[in-house]
Copies of this chain bind each other. A is one copy, B any other.
């Protein structure tokens, strides 16, 4: 079976954009598409998460328009990024997928589900928030730390993705090692254009479209919402809000962890996500 570390990067074209992607895991079952965080590419997932989930479904990582190994310019709204994600999925010939969106990838996952409801079977939203979410507890240093290096460092991620506790910081180092295990056929870094367009999309996502959260009530997909209890980037209360407003959503919040809780507790996260995706009825 191919894996996170060994599967070759492939390319598929849609609307003139050449999308870089990697597919691995078993052949059968509903594919699970990963939608990545701010400035992240395919190499920035955790193989402890992706490979474990690939044991029972195809996993597909990809770079959205303009990101890392994909061509084009990254668009500056979440909705346009969702249109591109849908075009990519369509170009693969897939008619229904499961979606795991992390951080801004979770914004895109929501927009994708709202615009293309037939395309999405089940939805996993990690470290993310609804449009017009609650940024009250966002740490004031997030913007600086998130953009200060051309290639974000371990120290940047330790602040952005993990809690300050020794146990969470130790987990960050394990994650960092796992994340760098793939050393050939890797992505190029994401560009400044991508960063700027994603910042614009993030800023736009702060503005309500009509009644705040009302659109979430139209998401009918079974949804699993996950975060750490001390998220300095996308405050944890937003996960509570998502689960209160999406009609069929389960909420799981992990202790002593931040925005990157899925990278701190990969075993626990995979257990929860696998059960959610694998059961015939999501909640029973």
A interface residues, Cβ below 8 angstroms from B: 222, 229, 236-237, 240, 243-244, 247-256, 265, 267-268, 271, 275, 283-284
Across the interface, which residues of B come within 8 angstroms of A254, CB to CB? 250, 283
Q: Provided the pairs A240-B240, A253-B243 are in contact, do residues A267 and B284 lie with their beta carbons within 8 angstroms?
A: yes
Q: How far is the CA of A254 from the CA of B28 in the complex (A)?
A: 29
Q: Flag if A283 contacts B271 (CB, 8 Å).
A: no
Contact for A283 among B244, B250, B265, B275, CB less than 8 A: B265
* Complex-state Cα separation, A280 to B249, whole angstroms: 29
Q: Of all chain B residues, which has the CB nearest A227? A: B251
| Distance between A262 CB and nearest chain B CB, rounded to angstroms | 13
Closest residue of chain B to A254 (Cβ to Cβ) is: B250
Within the complex, which residue of B249, B252, B283 is in contact with A251, where a contact is CB–CB below 8 Å? B252
A253–B248 alpha-carbon span in the complex (Å): 11
11 more CB-based (< 8 A) A-B contacts, given A229-B249, A243-B255, A255-B283: A222-B255, A229-B243, A229-B244, A237-B240, A243-B253, A250-B252, A251-B253, A256-B283, A265-B283, A265-B284, A271-B275
Check A255–B265 contact: CB distance below 8 A. Answer: no
Q: In the complex, what distance in Å separates the CA atom of A250 from the CA atom of B253?
A: 6
**A–B complex contacts, Cβ < 8 Å, 24 sampled:** A222-B255, A229-B243, A229-B244, A229-B249, A229-B251, A237-B240, A240-B253, A243-B255, A247-B255, A247-B256, A248-B255, A248-B256, A249-B255, A250-B253, A251-B251, A251-B252, A251-B253, A252-B252, A254-B283, A255-B283, A265-B283, A265-B284, A268-B275, A268-B284
- CB-defined contacts of A271 to chain B, threshold 8 Å: 275
Name the B residues within 8 Å of A222 (CB-CB): 255
Chain B CB within 10 A, most for which of A236, A244, A251, A252:
A251
Residue of B nearest to A276 (CB): B268
Residue of B nearest to A223 (CB): B255
With a cutoff of 8 Å between Cβ atoms, the chain B residues found around residue A250 in the complex are 252-255
Bound-state Cα–Cα, A284 to B247, Å: 29
Most chain-B Cβ atoms within 10 A of its Cβ — which of A244, A253, A267? A253
Q: Which residues of B contact A268 (CB under 8 A)?
A: 275, 283-284
- CB A222 to nearest CB in B, in angstroms, measures 8
Q: Please measure, in the bound complex, the distance between the C-alpha atom of A251 and the C-alpha atom of B230, giving whole angstroms.
A: 13
Chain B residues contacting A252 (CB-CB under 8 Å) are 250-252
